[in-house]
Amino acid sequence: MTHKPLLATVLGEKQKRPPIWIMRQAGRYLPEYREIRAKTKNFLELCYTPDLATEVTLQPLRRFDLDAAILFSDILVIPDALGQSVRFEQGEGPVLDPVSAESIAGLGMKKDPLEHLAPVLETVRRLRAALAPEKTLIGFCGSPWTVATYMIGGRGSSDQAAARLFALRHPEAFAALLDVLVETSINYLVAQFEAGADVVQLFESWALNLDDQAFTSHVIEPNRRIVDGVRARVPNAPIIGFPRGAAGNLARYAAETGVNAMGIDYATPLSFAGNLPKTLPLQGNLDPLRLVAGGRQLDDRIDAILAAFADRPHIFNLGHGIVPETPIEHVARLVDRLKNG
């Protein structure tokens, strides 16, 4: 079989040079992406149109020698598939009609979520056929807590207060919502593997703002159930966890969820990450704004990250998604530094 450096790193094999991919690598910083996006009615139409989703997924790999393609989609296709109203409004981001304690029982009752997500799975199949054999294909979904914060709050939030209060005031309904999301996520990720994904990532984008008890019940336990559920059907499935903002809970997350590798956000000190088990592959963690600024500080920070993770399997990435104002030449500089020193 052709060696896939990024997949091998997820599975614990240290590479001579760390492989690289970039969160949101298909996005608005690329003019070719903006051209396609301008032709679609809305963001979800782009996600659900295999021709277009395949094209934008492959765009960054045509410009840069990245080691992986990540499926172009969104974490909110799951609530959309469950029957919740999801729309993306210009300047506001995602807007959902919030679920209630009473409406949760009806989620997913009208239509099979995987039937709704069939176009996304078709995109995975097309990507598998189009990618060079050494490139890793990454699938993903949002983790239950993160997805639940949008489903309950109706939009993104800096403190997830609506979801946190809902979980405290309606524990049984909240547990039922997590159950639905765990089951749907397992089915969705298994289907992605069956369609050709090499590895999947769990995006726990809102792992911050939880006390230790809530972190256990809202983050660790649902993610563990997903990992176990996927591997029951896809033995040894390679899984990356990305608990953004987990801070002091990082070691617990890695040990108790069973993920193969863990992404760390840019606020995680390099010295702290160095205290995690050396056998644990880590992914990250350049600040996206350093990539915007460029120059000597970018080179210095790349060197610092490489040095900090030199003694373990490491996937170079940003500590959060690339931002639209990122100059293309700075991305090219980053990839060249990783590939050629």
Whole-angstrom CA distances from 180 to 216, 313, 329 are 18, 34, 43
Please indicate if the annotation marks 252 as binding a ligand.
Answer: no
CA distance 212 to 219: 10
Residue 24 designated active-site: yes
Instruction: Mark whether 290 is an active-site residue.
Output: no
Of residues 52, 44, 21, the one with CA closest to residue 122: 52
**24 annotated as ligand-binding:** yes
- Render 226-278 in DSSP notation, one character per residue: HHHHHHHHSTT--EEEEETT-GGGHHHHHHHH--SEEE--TTS-HHHHTTS-T
Q: Confirm or deny that 320 is annotated as ligand binding.
A: yes
- Tell whether 274 is in a known binding site: no
The verdict on whether 169 is a catalytic residue reads no
To the question of whether residue 73 is assigned a binding role by annotation, the answer is no
Residue 74, marked binder: yes
Backbone torsions φ then ψ of 10, nearest 5 degrees: -55, -35
Task: Give yes or no: 74 in active site.
Answer: yes
What backbone phi and psi angles, to 5 degrees, belong to 155?
-170, 175
How far from 138 is each of 112, 123, 193, 325, CA to CA, in Å? 24, 12, 9, 24
265 is in an annotated binding site: no
Instruction: Please identify which of the residues 29, 33, 67, 74 carries the catalytic annotation.
Output: 74
51 is annotated as an active-site residue: no
Binding residue per annotation — 170? no
Establish whether 330 is an annotated binding residue: no
Which residue among 29, 48, 150, 253 is the active-site one?
150
Residues with catalytic function: 24, 28, 37, 74, 150
* Residues in the annotated binding site for substrate: 24-28, 74, 150, 205, 320
